[in-house]
Amino acid sequence: MALTLNDVTTLLTVEGENQYGGEAVSQLEHALQCATLAEQAGETAQTITAALLHDIGHLLAKTGRIEARASTESGDDLHQYVALPFLRGLFSNAVLEPIRLHVDAKRYLCATDQSYWSTLSTASKHSLIMQGGVYTPPQAAEFEAQSFAQEAVRLRRYDDLAKTPEALTPALPHFLKIMHSVAL
């Protein structure tokens, strides 16, 4: 069930060519933009790696390695969770937890930042509904108390900005070096 670093690279290069949901970029373009934003912000190598890999659950679903999991209540594919068993042997919680929490971070930001909703793309607003909607104040407080919540919030903001067609980023090998540097 676990992936190797070579498997991760293959997923990004092969399956990453697919369009990223309803956005105007591919999955790989989105991942590279997200990692670039994290690097430009001075994030740790672990958070940059989380930014690169945060949507790898979508790519795994396309390979047939996992069934596309959908919550019966919401229709969400739960991509933030399905990747974790595949990545657990490769990375520490400093990489895995921001990945796990990045969807919850969107729900949190909608609850705590009045201007955040207006920054979301149409596709991201739609997926928010499928992901459970805006957090209540107690849910937001529970989110804040988790380890790596602040990293997940920053990752979420990079995620939201990483949807620009033809944006210039370093090539994938640049980020693969960073990923390899934090692998267990």
pLDDT per residue as tens digits for the range 56-65: 998 987 776 6
**pLDDT greater than 70 at residue 66:** no
State the architecture of 5-182 in CATH terms.
Answer: Orthogonal Bundle (1.10)
Give the DSSP letter string of 53-108.
Answer: HTTHHHHHHHHTSS-----TTT----HHHHTHHHHTTT--HHHHHHHHHHHHHHHH
Task: For residues 5 and 53, give the distance between their C-alpha atoms in angstroms, rounded to a whole number.
Answer: 12
Task: For residues 78 and 95, give the distance between their C-alpha atoms in angstroms, rounded to a whole number.
Answer: 18
Task: For residues 164 and 15, give the distance between their C-alpha atoms in angstroms, rounded to a whole number.
Answer: 19
In this predicted structure, which of 27-36, 85-94, 122-131, 173-182 has the lowest mean pLDDT? 122-131
- Please report the pLDDT score of residue 21 as a whole number: 77
**pLDDT greater than 70 at residue 43:** yes
Mean pLDDT of 134-158: 98
What the block records as the tokens of 113 is: 């930042």
Span 3-24, pLDDT tens digits: 999 999 999 999 999 888 778 8
pTM of the model: 0.92
